[in-house]
Amino acid sequence: MKKKNVIPKALIPENRTFVVRKQVEPYFDPTFHLHPEFQLSYVVEGEGNRFVGDSIKPFKSNDLVLIGPNLPHVWRSHNSYFEKDSGLSTTVIVIYFLDHFLGEIIHDKEEFESIKHLFQRSQCGIEITGVTQRAVSHMMVELLELKGTDSIIQLLRILNTIALSDECQLITDTHSKVYNTEAETDRMNKVYEFIMKNFHRKIHLEEVASIASMTNTSFSRYFKSRVNQSFSDFLKEIRIEYACKLLKEDKMNIDRIGFACGFQSVTNFNKQFKSVTGKQPHQYRNEYQKVAIDTYHQYH
């Protein structure tokens, strides 16, 4: 069976230095994967959870991330994006390039020291925020229209802007080598996919362990070594992230949200929500609405 989780080597044609493309799809490719190219992704439209190595974080529009070679990752759209006739859409601008896209000059010459250091840091994934995010995403939009030498200059300008910025955070603590085989990534992909499709109900450990073809004990050890947290904590975070989304949308009452996110009782939902966010669900919703109203008045 052909695996889908490694981008083919022909991603960057032989006669090209790098590839930039704009992709508009109903949802992001939900496959956890890795590839030898660097990847700079700017989410123009879409929401979900971003997995990079052992990190999971929610993403929405304006998410800007640089990923180093062979660092497993996926931007997984919320389940609502996969529903038939959802009417939802995602847009991303992505640049793929190799570390020797200008030959060995980046590694050998003093003028490229900051970009060389950026490449080293990208092994852990880098999230770019603030003024830098706005500048770089604007340059990426411009890059779509550029050709020839102008496009190379623009790519260097983008990399240099990131390299010199203090608005960049590492996404993972370590670049986990244990991930970096096709079989390992494929196994984790099956586990992630199962969790993301089923987190709204009670999940038994043996269900997930069987997907990984392991005993409960072996799976628990395996999962913690890959994701840097226990399976139960990981599942709790996924559920709370989704609860936060529903609380912001303000279409459901809080009791229903707890059950919709897989919590078996309102009491348990309140307790777990506070353990992750430091706030009760009603407090979280009220504070979010206040910020939204204040922001609206500020700009109107």
d(CA 73, CA 31): 8
Look at residue 63 in the predicted model and tell me its pLDDT: 96
Q: Which residues contact 96 (CB under 8 A, 6 or more apart)?
A: 11, 12, 18, 19, 20, 35, 37, 38, 39
Q: Report the number of distinct structural domains present in the chain.
A: 2
Mean pLDDT of 105-134: 90
pLDDT of 7 above 50:
no
Q: Are residues 239 and 158 in the same domain?
A: no
Question: Checking DSSP bridges between strand 90-97 and strand 48-52, what pairing results, if any?
Answer: unpaired
Clarify whether residues 204 and 135 are in a common domain. Answer: no
User: Mean pLDDT across the chain, nearest whole number?
Assistant: 87
CATH number of the domain within which 71 lies: 2.60.120.280
Cβ contact 58:48 at 8 Å: yes
How does DSSP assign 128-168, residue by residue?
Answer: E-HHHHHHHHHHHHHHTT--HHHHHHHHHHHHHHHHT-S-E
Beta partners for residue 77, in sequence order: 48
Q: Which of 170, 199, 222 is the last residue of a domain?
A: 170
Mean pLDDT of 47-76: 89
pTM of the model: 0.75
Return the pLDDT at 8.
44
DSSP 7: -
The CA distance from 44 to 186, in Å, is 28
The tens digit of pLDDT for each residue in 155-182 reads 999 999 999 999 999 998 765 555 556 6
Position 45 scores a pLDDT of 96
SS3 state of residue 12: coil
Residues 69 and 28 in one domain: yes
Verify that 72 and 162 share a domain, yes or no: yes
Among the three residues 105, 137, 170, which one is the final residue of a domain in this structure? Answer: 170
Residues 129 and 169: their CA atoms lie apart, in Å, by 8
Instruction: Assess whether pLDDT exceeds 90 at residue 67.
Output: yes
Residue 5's pLDDT band, with cuts at 50, 70 and 90, is: very low
Tokens in use for 284?
């979280």
Do 14 and 118 lie in a common domain?
Answer: yes
Q: 122, 145, 170 — which closes off a domain?
A: 170
Look at residue 91 and tell me if it is in a domain: yes
| CA 139 from centroid of its chain's CA atoms | 21
Q: Which two tokens stand for residue 49?
A: 């959870």
User: CA nearest 41: which of 74, 78, 11, 89?
Assistant: 74
Looking at residue 75, its pLDDT comes to 93
pLDDT of residue 65: 97
Strand 73-77, strand 18-25: pairing:
unpaired
> How many helices (H) and strands (E) would you count in the chain?
11, 10
Q: What is the pLDDT of residue 228?
A: 76
> Hey, which bits of the chain come out as E strands?
18-25, 38-45, 48-52, 55-59, 64-67, 73-77, 90-97, 101-104, 126-128, 168-170
Shared domain check, 220 and 71:
no
Residue 152 lies in a domain: yes
Domain that holds residue 98: 9-170
Q: Decide if pLDDT at 79 tops 70.
A: yes
Phi-psi region of 228 (alpha: psi -120 to 50; beta: other; left: phi over 0): left
* Burial of 79 per CB tally in 10 Å (0-12, 13-18, 19+): middle
With respect to residue 81, please indicate whether it lies within any of the assigned structural domains: yes
Given a cut of 90, whether residue 208 has pLDDT beyond it is yes
Mean pLDDT of 20-27: 94
Could you give the CA distance from residue 127 to residue 269 in angstroms, rounded to a whole number? 30
Mean pLDDT over residues 256-263, rounded? Answer: 93
User: What is the sign, positive or negative, of the torsion defined by CA atoms of 236, 25, 87, 5?
Assistant: negative
Q: Is 106 inside any structural domain?
A: yes
Q: What is the pLDDT of residue 288?
A: 85
Q: 209 and 270: one domain?
A: yes
Decide: 65 and 132 in contact? Cβ < 8 Å: no
Asked if 200 and 79 sit in the same domain, the reply is: no
